[in-house]
A and B are shown apart, each in its own frame.
Chain A
Amino acid sequence: MSDQAIPLQQEEKQFSLAKDAFIRLVANRLAIVGMVLVAFLFFVAIFGPYLTPYDFLSQDLMARNQAPSWQHWFGTDDLGRDIMSRVIYGSRTAVVVGFSTVSFSLIIGLFMGALGGYFGGKVDAFVVWLIDITMSIPSLLLVIVINVSLKPPLVNWMDAQFLATGNEFYRNTIWVDFVLVFGSLALIKWPKAARIIRGQILSIRNKNYVLAAEALGVPTSKIVRRYVIPNAIGPIIVYISAALGEAMVLESSFSFLGVGVRPPIPSWGNMISDGLRIWQLYPHVLAAPAAVLAIVTIAFSFLGDGLNDALNPRQWK
């Protein structure tokens, strides 16, 4: 596209970037399905406590391993806990971990990417090296090691703090699980965000209009606001959507392996792992959380693909 063509096009169509992207997104039926499902997931996660018919911990030993019925839509598990309530609480776990992971990895990624892209030279080489290592190590394994090895000392420290200060905050060591899971996930998820921002800065730096703006004395902050952010916002939104889905799946993977959020806090992963023990007799205990997690991941795929097409139209078709 030549530089002269741009003003002509703008005269023809005065769509803003966001409106343009939104129109493309709405035209994609699968993306709409994904968006509705993801919105429903967030709704359920936020208002979970008001929606659950039963407490997720209350055991009813008279009603163990019941098949799905009108009282228990998804049935009950081997301790007589209502599976639907647990699946709903599991969505809270997933969403909390998902959002914290994405926020932290965005902060790290944007900082590192901007550092590399802006300073260039040795700083940039170091950033690229860090990105390369982080992306080429077996990430799941590293995160598992972090979780397993840091949990006991952190829990001990929390206990010691509680005994020393009596502060109620230190009593609840469930937070250690959550912090470790999303902290370690952020450590492996940041390179993609860093790559996006670094790539944008590098590609925009030598564009004529940026050089012109610099020559005219436009301050850097304004160049960032006017040129860098609008260019990077599309890929970043796609990144956020993809990373949210991935983080939720990874959270479940850890709980599935028994290193993430521990029972009795429900996570889809530890529910699937529980279900694997008794599925021959009570398949619903396994099928309910597995099906929900499958639907959520498919919803994120649909939404992510739609966003990608809408925001990066040049990349695909």
Chain B
Amino acid sequence: MGRYVISRLVRWIPSVFILLLLVYALVYFGAGDPIKLIFLQAPGDVAYDPARVEAIREAAGLNRPFLVQFWDYILNVAQGNFGNSLVSGRSVNSMVAAALPVTLKIGLAAILIVSLVGILLGVIAALNQNKWLDNLIVGFALIIWGIPVFVAGPLIIVFMVLVLNLNVPYGWAGLFDVKVIVPLLVLGLNPMALIIRQARAGVLEVLSEDYVRTARAKGIPNYQVVMRHIMRPVLTPVVSQIGLLVIATLNNSILIEKVFGLPGLGRMTETAIKSSDYPVILAIVLIFSIVVMASNLLVDISYPLLDPRAAAKKTEDE
């Protein structure tokens, strides 16, 4: 297991290196001179003086060749230093330290709740295959599957405020505050559809297996058949989707945190993009890919634990 984790890390490092190089090159050659940007964004009477700009560039080491600067950046990152924001001047580390927990907490809570509810709905749908309950759940999954969060969120807010006369859920007061419920729900909509479909398909596949028929024939009570013989193999295809869910949740957090006023990573991304604050953007790219990589790794590690057959099949595939 240890060797497997290490080999995965070894494969991941070059790809994240290339990703960082790509993003660095994009902002280096595209977004323009950062010092000039600082001057243009500076408040009030700071005059744009070419000589001063040149002096600052020299002092900050921005006159050096691209690859030298990139290497310097990588060395800093390797030591855990992401530099300073171009806009606020704050260290990116402290910004991330404040924002990351918000996004992680909401994202993880959403994935957890949605997985539980989704598996439940998927299993119910499959056990009632082609009856009205199944059609209802499948139809519900289809409806929530594609709806973008920035459509669902505002529509729910408008509905809550104008029709139900409730307060707008805005801001962040910890994970166990009522304000969290609506953003959590919205963030979980698309993932829930995926989980329902996977769980339903998984159960339908298992239902026709011989060992299920045997268990039924032996007279094992229905709920025990479901819990012991059906649920366990169903978990594997569901768990395999968690990597996708994490990517979707991170993407959606960029879109949704503005709507609900959450001070998380998504909000930070949005403001950093608007002001071309590239140290922040680079840090976020790196954090996102670490989170995605870690969740993919967790999924791969948990496969054989959930289903020994998957381990055997996996080696066959490769």
Contacts and interface: CB of A to CB of B under 8 A. Distances in A.
Given A133-B18, A257-B255, A257-B273, A149 B142 contact: no
B145 A301 contact: yes
The 10 closest A-B pairs by CB, nearest first: A149-B30, A297-B146, A138-B288, A140-B251, A149-B26, A133-B15, A301-B146, A301-B142, A149-B31, A290-B151
Given A137-B289, A150-B26, A272-B151, A256 B255 contact: yes
B147 A298 contact: yes
A144 B266 CA distance: 12
Contacts of B15: 129, 132-133, 136
B95 interface: no
Interface stretch (B69-77, B103-111, B154-162): B154-162
Interface of A: 30, 129, 132-133, 136-142, 144-146, 148-153, 245-246, 249, 252-253, 256-259, 269, 272, 275-276, 279-280, 283, 286-287, 290-291, 293-294, 297-298, 300-302, 305, 316-317
B180 interface: no
Nearest to A300: B146
B255 A138 contact: no
B30 A153 contact: yes
Contacts of A139: 247, 251
A269 B150 contact: yes
A19 to B, nearest CB: 25
Nearest to B28: A149
Contact of B269 (A141, A258, A290, A298): A141
Given A30-B142, A257-B255, A275-B154, 20 more contacts: A133-B18, A138-B251, A139-B251, A141-B269, A144-B273, A145-B281, A146-B26, A148-B31, A148-B276, A149-B27, A149-B30, A245-B146, A249-B146, A253-B255, A257-B270, A259-B273, A276-B259, A283-B158, A297-B146, A297-B148
B254 A257 contact: yes
A256 B150 contact: yes
Interface residues of B, number: 49
A27 to B, nearest CB: 13
Given A145-B27, A298-B142, A136 B293 contact: yes
Given A276-B259, A287-B158, A253 B150 contact: yes
A280 B165 CA distance: 12
A127 to B, nearest CB: 14
